[in-house]
Chains A and B, each alone.
Chain A
């Protein structure tokens, strides 16, 4: 009987705008990827002190 419950599940929520239709889940995932992309550009990358010491030695 479990399988009939699964089959009866709704297909999910969709966002529609003209010819564009996307599931809410996919839209959220794409939005999160854009956030990660923006953070990857904006967040400073930590520096390695070990390399600084090497430069001093050289």
Chain B
């Protein structure tokens, strides 16, 4: 085989990078990822709560990173640590409040319409994973409250057979679930949720007409 023949052998379509690029561009075509215009029906405060939830999540993660650097005892013995711990708690409270209002809004507008079932389900999974993360966070407080919650929860979790793998009486295991596994899961699910929202566009109100196609959603359609 000559060098010239070797150059002709690989076809672009067989390359995994080409296939990945094609798949990504089909999933979220250019212009849909970060659109600068949206349909007119999005001009409502109820559409703001998804992004408020993301904003609260970013504060949760940022304060959690600071708490992780300070260590378990830091938020009990240091005024600064106590302050960051409070920021972490209250951003979580806002995160859940915004997420539940977002859920109410999407439920009452039947947001799974228009081939958006996977968007809805990733939201459901993100909600459930968030509850698990908050639960392990309460178990990681290293105080009497954490002890009380863990001893109340252990019987229920043992009854369903997960105690051997998810032991709420093991604070080290719960802390690692809280700061690594569950945040990673939430990050992946939320990213997928956002990609799906961008791919299918914002769900229109029940009595409104959606833009003619996805491109119209991405570039604005009706204003």
Residues of A whose CB lies within 8 Å of any CB of B are: 7, 29, 33, 36-37, 39-41, 43, 45, 47, 51, 55
Contacts and interface: CB of A to CB of B under 8 A. Distances in A.
A51 B105 CA distance: 26
Contacts of B97: 29, 33, 36
A51 B45 contact: no
Contacts of B43: 45, 47
Give the most central of A36, A39, A40, A47: most B CB within 10 Å. Answer: A40
B21 interface: no
A40 B105 contact: yes
Interface in B135-173: 144
B99 to A, nearest CB: 11
A33 B49 CA distance: 12
A51 B104 CA distance: 29
A36 B223 contact: no
B45 A55 contact: no
A51 B100 contact: no
Nearest to B48: A40
A40 B49 contact: yes
Contact of A43 (B45, B100, B101, B104): B45
Contacts of B101: 33, 36-37, 40
B37 interface: yes
A9 B36 CA distance: 53
Contacts of B49: 40
A48 to B, nearest CB: 9
B53 to A, nearest CB: 13
B44 A51 contact: no
Given A33-B97, A33-B100, A51-B223, A40 B46 contact: yes
Contacts of B37: 51
A2 to B, nearest CB: 13
Give the most central of B45, B46, B48, B101: most A CB within 10 Å. Answer: B45
A40 B45 contact: yes
A39 B101 CA distance: 11
B45 A41 contact: yes
A55 B223 contact: yes
Interface string B74-107: 0000000000000000000000010011001100
B45 A45 contact: yes
A43 B46 CA distance: 10
Given A33-B101, A51-B37, A41 B46 contact: yes
B148 to A, nearest CB: 11
A37 B44 contact: no
A23 B46 CA distance: 28
A39 to B, nearest CB: 7
